[in-house]
Amino acid sequence: MNSVAELQDFIINGHKHYMPHMSIDAAIFGYHDHQLKILLSSYKALDGYCLPGGYIRRTETLDEAANRIVAERTSLTDLYLQQYKTFGDPDRIKWNEMDFENFSKKLELKYIKDSWLMDQTISIGYYALTDFSLVTPQADVMSDFCAWFNINEVPPLLFDHDQMVKDSLHALRMQLYYYPIAEKLLPAKFTLTEIHAVYETLLDKKLDIRNFPKKLVFLGLIKKLNEKRNIGPHRAPFLYKFDKKKYTKALETGTTLT
C-alpha cells in the first residue's frame, strides 16, 4: 500500500484496530555532550510543530503502545520511557470538520465525515530519554517531518503540546533523583564529572560539584566503587555506578528519604 492509500485506510478503518477517543503523545528528550534536545514532528498539511504521537492498538497495553510509537520515530527499543500524565481537557484540540475536510483535500484523500479521528480525544503523555547522537528521526504515515530541537529553542506548539513539554520536563526533573533515568546516557561505571554534566544539563542549572554527588549517594541512587579511572598524570577519579538494588527497593517501599 502506498502512503496515501495507507492513510485513507487508517481514516476509514483505523478504529477497528486502534482505541478511539485516545492517543499517546511522547516527549522524547535527547542528551549528548552537555546538550538537551527534544524531538518535534509536524502533521501532513497542518502548519506548526507538535510532539510525535500515535494511537493505541486494541491488543496493546499503554506501555507497549508507547514503546512502539517511540521506536517508530527513533528506531530505538531500549530507551528510558515513563508515563507521566494524561491530558483530558475537552477543548485541548481545536480541530473541526472543516479543518479535516481541508486536510483531506490537500492530501488528495477522500473526505470522510464523522471519522473516528475527529472524536474527542484524551492523550496519555509519556516521556523518553535517549542519546540523540544515536537517533535518526523518522516521520510516519501522518507526519511529514521529525527532527531534534534544542530544548531552549522550541517554537510554540500545536494543541496543548506546550503544556505537555512543560509537564514532561517537570516529571523528568522530579524523578531524576529517584529513578535511574540517566543510566543509558552514561557508561556502566562513570566519574562524578560525567554524571554531574548530565544532571546539570537535564536540570538546566548549576549544581555544586561537591554536594551534588553526596545527595545522589544519600538518596541511594548511585554508589561509589573501590575502583578508579586513569585519565592522565595524577588524575584518577573514583568510579560510581547506579545502585540498582537499592533504588529498586526504595521505590517499592515508597521513598528513598528515610
Residue 105 zone, left/alpha/beta (φ > 0; ψ -120 to 50; rest): alpha
**Minimal distance in Å, beta carbon 256 to a second copy?**
9
Beta bridge partners of 224: 240
Binding map of a second copy across residues 16-55, x = CB under 8 A, - = no contact? ---xxxx---------------------------------
Stretch of residues binding a second copy (CB under 8 A), selected from 57-65, 69-77, 139-147, 182-190: 57-65
Tell me which of 32, 44, 68, 173 binds a second copy, using CB under 8 A: 173
**Minimal distance in Å, beta carbon 144 to a second copy?**
29
Tell me which of 106, 170, 214, 249 binds a second copy, using CB under 8 A: 170
d(CA 82, CA 135): 19
Strand pairing report for 143-150 and 122-131: unpaired
Other CB atoms within 10 Å distance of the CB of residue 111: 13
d(CA 125, CA 58): 18
d(CA 54, CA 69): 6
- Would you say 45 and 86 are in contact if contact means Cβ atoms under 8 Å apart? no
Residues contacting a second copy: total by CB under 8 A: 42
Residue closer to a second copy by CB (options 102, 120) is 120
d(CA 22, CA 2): 26
Tell me which of 35, 77, 102, 120 binds a second copy, using CB under 8 A: 120
Stretch of residues binding a second copy (CB under 8 A), selected from 87-95, 98-106, 229-237, 241-249: 87-95
237 part of the interface to a second copy, by CB under 8 A: no
**Minimal distance in Å, beta carbon 55 to a second copy?**
12
77 part of the interface to a second copy, by CB under 8 A: no
- Would you say 73 and 41 are in contact if contact means Cβ atoms under 8 Å apart? yes
d(CA 235, CA 239): 12
Give the CB-side neighbour count of residue 207, counting CA atoms within 13 A. Answer: 21
Tell me which of 40, 56, 128, 181 binds a second copy, using CB under 8 A: 56
Q: Which residue has the cell 549517594?
A: 217
217 part of the interface to a second copy, by CB under 8 A: no
Binding map of a second copy across residues 125-164, x = CB under 8 A, - = no contact? ----------------------------------------
**Minimal distance in Å, beta carbon 225 to a second copy?**
23
Other CB atoms within 10 Å distance of the CB of residue 126: 27
C-alpha angle 13-123-113 in degrees, rounded to nearest 5 = 35
Where on the chain is the footprint of a second copy (CB under 8 A)? 19-22, 56, 58-62, 65, 83, 85-90, 120, 122, 124, 169-170, 173-174, 176-178, 203-205, 207-208, 211, 215, 251-255, 257-258
